[in-house]
Amino acid sequence: MTRQHHLGRVAVVTGAGSGIGRAVARLMLAEGYRVVLAGRREAQLLETAAGHAQALAVPCDVTVADDVQRLFAAALQRWERVDVLFNNAGVFGPAASVDEISLADWDATVAVNLTGSMLCAAAAFRAMKAQSPQGGRIINNGSIAAHSPRPRTVAYTVTKHAMTGLTKSIELDGRGFGISCGQIDIGNAATELMEEIGVGSGAMQADGSRRAEPTFPVDDAARAVLLMAGMPASASVGSVVITAAGMPFIGRG
């Protein structure tokens, strides 16, 4: 896909202030997209934007419906359409099994990872349905936790399994409007989140041991998102799994 193909297309990237969201936003800007950067911390969004003329930073808490409405209103006011949503904002949540997690921690994780993703997808869907030409593409950031959990990650794992249901429902309901939806499940991209759970120094394994796991550059994960975003409207990319080579995901360890 050439850079020329992307010129003028409008993408909304949530969680754009760090990690995968930052890498995706910067790559999209470099490839000619007009990018709306969403996140809770304006300073980090501006750092991601780095003064790029085609970047619009909009502080947004995806758990707040009015914030999400303002985010997409800003995108439409500036560029009059939304071609791509990268639904990326998320939190890992507490390290806890089902009998340990507090209701407050459960609700907080679900609010960001699932309800926030639904609110953003709904706003994007409405914009894509109403615009002319109609249609667009929603890319949900899942996780390999959508396939197989780590120990003591009940809230995170459940939300990422639920993301798969959200993805398939959007894909089905969007068919008549030229709206497609796919999910990218990323394993061990080198981000702050991976440092938080100790992947480099020793992540918890199913047998209770800790093991340092391989990671891969976050820019390579961003290139996979760009591939999904840039596919022609005639193709729907339902699922992409990309992991660090050799990480303990396939098989029994």
The rounded distance, in Å, linking the Cα atoms of 111 and 109 is 5
List the structure tokens of 68.
Answer: 């999400």
Contact present, 1 and 230 (Cβ < 8 Å): yes
* Cα–chain center distance at 162: 14
Question: Catalytic one among 72, 79, 125, 156?
Answer: 156
Q: Identity (one letter) of the amino acid at 70?
A: R
Give the whole-angstrom CA distance, residue 167 versus residue 2: 27
Element (H, E) at 11: strand 10-14
| HSE-CB of 209 using CA atoms within 13 angstroms | 6
Whether residue 156 lies in the annotated active site:
yes
What size, in residues, is the chain? Answer: 253
State how far Cα 140 lies from the chain centre: 5
With contact defined as beta carbons under 8 Å apart, do 113 and 160 qualify? yes
- Active centre residues (catalytic): 156
